[in-house]
Chain A
Amino acid sequence: MLKVMVILHRGLKKIMKSKVLNKQQTHCDSLLEMKYSRLLSLNKELKQKVSDSREYNIVVLSNIVPNYIKEILECSLRKNSINADVAIGDYDNILQDSEKYSNLDCQIIFWEAGNIIDGLHYKIELMDEPEVSLLLDKTKKEITFAFNSLGSSKLVLFNSFSSTAFSGSNLKEDKLEKFAGELNRYVCDNLPLNFVFVNIEKVIAQASISSSFDFRFYYSSKSLYSVEFYKHYVEHIKSAIMPIHGKAKKAMIFDCDNTLWKGVIGEDGFDGINMQADDNEGRVFAEVQSIARSLAHKGIIIGLCSKNNTEDIEEVLNTHPDMILGSEDIAVKMVNWNDKVNNLMEIASYLNIGIDSIVYVDDSDYEIEAVKHFLPEVTTLKVPKRLYDYPKMIRESLKFFYKQYSTKEDKKRLKLYKDMGEREKAKDNYTDIESYLESLGLVIKVYCDARDQISRISQLTNKTNQFNLTTKRYTLSEIESCMKSDNQRVFSLEAQDRFGNYGLTGVCIVKEDNLKGVSFDTLLLSCRILGRKIEFKFIDYIISLLKNEGREVFSALYLKTPKNNQVIDFWDKVCFDVVRDDEESKHYKMHFDDYKSMDVEFINQEM
């Protein structure tokens, strides 16, 4: 005992000396304060550190580009020793990806109201009532689809629909705000229990409207939110992910004097301590006690750890008229004159919980620093000097105790919902992606050597990286001469659905030889129309056209780049045979007799 005290004392001296330094350290360690470049390099360092533990796979599904979240979320979780890996789904492929990634550990959905169709944030003001309600119905069905395909996932974070980026300063509710509101009501009414509905207005409020959005990249790349926003977002949702890793806190242990009440029982006496709800100072403690009591009701362990005479504390607990916290709320009491470090260790072993499951609240710098030093796993809260900040601090700490399912009833309902989900799936809504795509009413139009499209075509060859088989870049004049040439043809593709036009979004350049052969020089699709099987309809049309013109042998090429891995087997899918395969490229051939149309019946072609 004495030994511990001595160590404690020496340790503490050291701590006090380095306190200023430490403070700076922790300041920089907070992601909110950290420069983005520092965060990137820290994330890399942490990756090594956590690489031994099980990978926790998260995917972000979105109809905007949420790219910054990857590093920020990874870094934040890795700091808590979670080996997180964050993937970003394909742009505007929420439904497709909800099926594809349903077996990952966690899915996060960023569904931006203003981009439900391209440019909805401004187009909606010119839409009439029926148009808006058609779009609303479509989106509700899509939401239901995502609910169903992710109904068995462990954890889904579903962000609220928000119009704040576009109508944050409007006094009157505009159409987009109303639209987002209706979707939110629908989500709340139907939310599966494994989903957490994240109110992103709270995040925007934390970060402020003016620093949440970065429109520079919205118009060029559909990236809407700033790094600042994502930092706050990650901070906000972290508490939902931590418990899955056993990192939720289980017990909140309080000191007594000047922590549960104002005053020192040993000096001020039974009548001298204050926690009166109608007194300016007492009120603060009354509120803290109420919060603690409600935590106890939710199954969180509340305990006391105090240097006092046991009898004094018992008397207060059992007979003081202003006590809100009662004996029945308190699961463990360590009231003695031993040091707190040992007492907390005893509490942990008595409760059979890890020391890292404890949150400890005390008013003394000495005690807090000692616990921090000897038991760094314990989360410590020091009663603030400004007492009015004390209840706020306790309220904010509630996130440490986050539980996804708090009652048995919740778990029962979860099962019920899953069963219901199956039935719902059968009778209503989109049964699968195919039926969803069918409902979109996709129409494509293919042009050949369209001179008025030269600049857009050239731009597409230069900008498209993912769905691009050869990644050949062409200037305006090169495209023009392809069009002029007798043995080359430039096909371009326009796509639209019932809800809007995607514009010119696909290019295919073919070269014909003097015999009966033809080769595919370029095939690309803009990422905004991926996941809709449009590529198969496009290639179907081109191949059958060339076939009808007497072409018999088709050759094609896949040139590997760091970005086009998703089309590595595209030619295989459309029945081409590999004739040469090296690390950098794959060469294909196909005889026209072998071609099988993909029969994408739900896409129509306008001639």
Chain B
Amino acid sequence: MEGVVKEIMKSVFEISNVSYETSPDTVGTWDSFRHMSLVVALEDEFDVEFDDNQIRTMTDLKAILNVLEELNVDKQMHL
């Protein structure tokens, strides 16, 4: 799952590396528009729907993985 999330972040933000430090503060392209794209791309990929609160917190890899876990997305999925 982590790998898939990373790939999505790479294509949404047009960056070549994603780490636990990747966040709107470290990535210039991570603005509110691309945040929407990230949300939609993740929802589409994992077939889930995030609520307002979750959307607000999903601002780094760890937080995104946490939210996906909250929604019971299988960690082994898409390995």
User: Which residues does chain A contribute within 8 Å of B33, judged by CB atoms?
Assistant: 65, 67, 221, 223
CB within 8 Å of A: which of B19-34? 28-29, 31-33
The reply on A216 being an interface residue by CB < 8 A is: yes
Q: A40-B37, A216-B55, A227-B44 are in contact. Are A562 and B29 (CB under 8 A)?
A: yes
A37→B55 contact, CB < 8 A: no
The reply on A294 being an interface residue by CB < 8 A is: no
User: Which residues does chain B contribute within 8 Å of A227, judged by CB atoms?
Assistant: 40, 44
A561→B11 contact, CB < 8 A: no
Specify which of B8, B44, B52 is in contact with A216 (CB 8 Å cutoff): B52
User: Which residues does chain A contribute within 8 Å of B8, judged by CB atoms?
Assistant: 37, 40
The reply on A595 being an interface residue by CB < 8 A is: no
The reply on A499 being an interface residue by CB < 8 A is: no
Whole-angstrom CA separation of A44 from B52 in the bound complex? 29
User: Which residues does chain B contribute within 8 Å of A561, judged by CB atoms?
Assistant: 28
B28→A41 contact, CB < 8 A: no
A37→B28 contact, CB < 8 A: no
CB within 8 Å of B: which of A5-45? 35-37, 40-41, 44
Specify which of B28, B36, B44, B45 is in contact with A217 (CB 8 Å cutoff): B36
Min C-beta distance of A232 to chain B, whole Å: 15
Min C-beta distance of B56 to chain A, whole Å: 9
A40→B41 contact, CB < 8 A: yes
Residue of B nearest to A227 (CB): B40
Residue of B nearest to A219 (CB): B52
A36→B28 contact, CB < 8 A: no
User: B-facing mask of A548-564, CB < 8 A → 1, else 0?
Assistant: 00000000000001110
The reply on B7 being an interface residue by CB < 8 A is: yes
The reply on B12 being an interface residue by CB < 8 A is: yes
The reply on A68 being an interface residue by CB < 8 A is: yes
A36→B44 contact, CB < 8 A: yes
User: Which residues does chain A contribute within 8 Å of B55, judged by CB atoms?
Assistant: 216
The reply on A163 being an interface residue by CB < 8 A is: no
CB within 8 Å of B: which of A429-480? 463, 465
Whole-angstrom CA separation of A103 from B54 in the bound complex? 42
User: Which residues does chain A contribute within 8 Å of B12, judged by CB atoms?
Assistant: 37, 40
Specify which of B14, B29, B37, B44 is in contact with A35 (CB 8 Å cutoff): B44
Min C-beta distance of B44 to chain A, whole Å: 5
A68→B11 contact, CB < 8 A: no
Whole-angstrom CA separation of A561 from B27 in the bound complex? 11
CB within 8 Å of B: which of A65-92? 65, 67-68, 71
Residue of B nearest to A88 (CB): B33
Specify which of B11, B31, B45 is in contact with A465 (CB 8 Å cutoff): B31
CB within 8 Å of B: which of A49-76? 65, 67-68, 71
Min C-beta distance of B12 to chain A, whole Å: 6
Residue of B nearest to A42 (CB): B11
User: Which residues does chain B contribute within 8 Å of A221, judged by CB atoms?
Assistant: 32-33, 36
Whole-angstrom CA separation of A221 from B40 in the bound complex? 14
User: Which residues does chain A contribute within 8 Å of B41, judged by CB atoms?
Assistant: 35-37, 40
Min C-beta distance of A484 to chain B, whole Å: 28
Residue of B nearest to A35 (CB): B44
Whole-angstrom CA separation of A562 from B34 in the bound complex? 13
User: Which residues does chain B contribute within 8 Å of A35, judged by CB atoms?
Assistant: 41, 44-45
Residue of B nearest to A65 (CB): B33
User: Which residues does chain B contribute within 8 Å of A67, judged by CB atoms?
Assistant: 33, 36-37
B28→A563 contact, CB < 8 A: yes
Q: A37-B45, A221-B32, A563-B31 are in contact. Are A68 and B52 (CB under 8 A)?
A: no
Min C-beta distance of A50 to chain B, whole Å: 17
Min C-beta distance of B75 to chain A, whole Å: 18
User: Which residues does chain B contribute within 8 Å of A562, judged by CB atoms?
Assistant: 28-29
Residue of B nearest to A466 (CB): B31
Specify which of B7, B14, B40 is in contact with A36 (CB 8 Å cutoff): B40
User: Which residues does chain B contribute within 8 Å of A41, judged by CB atoms?
Assistant: 7, 11
User: Which residues does chain A contribute within 8 Å of B52, judged by CB atoms?
Assistant: 216, 220
User: Which residues does chain A contribute within 8 Å of B45, judged by CB atoms?
Assistant: 35-37
User: Which residues does chain B contribute within 8 Å of A37, judged by CB atoms?
Assistant: 7-8, 11-12, 41-42, 44-45
User: Which residues does chain B contribute within 8 Å of A214, judged by CB atoms?
Assistant: 40
Min C-beta distance of B48 to chain A, whole Å: 13
Specify which of A40, A65, A217, A563 is in contact with B11 (CB 8 Å cutoff): A40
CB within 8 Å of B: which of A149-163? none
Residue of A nearest to B30 (CB): A562
Min C-beta distance of B34 to chain A, whole Å: 8
Residues of B within 8 A of A (CB): 7-8, 11-12, 14, 28-29, 31-33, 36-37, 40-42, 44-45, 52, 55
Residues of A within 8 A of B (CB): 35-37, 40-41, 44, 65, 67-68, 71, 214, 216-217, 220-221, 223, 226-227, 463, 465, 561-563
A-B contact pairs, 23 of them (CB 8 A): A35-B44, A36-B44, A37-B12, A37-B42, A37-B45, A40-B12, A44-B11, A44-B14, A67-B33, A67-B37, A68-B40, A71-B37, A214-B40, A217-B36, A221-B32, A221-B33, A221-B36, A223-B36, A227-B40, A465-B31, A465-B32, A563-B28, A563-B31
Cβ-closest 4 pairs across A and B: A562-B28, A40-B11, A37-B41, A67-B33
Q: A41-B11, A68-B37, A562-B29 given. 15 additional CB < 8 A pairs?
A: A35-B41, A36-B45, A37-B11, A37-B41, A37-B45, A40-B12, A40-B37, A44-B14, A65-B33, A67-B36, A216-B55, A221-B36, A463-B32, A561-B28, A562-B28
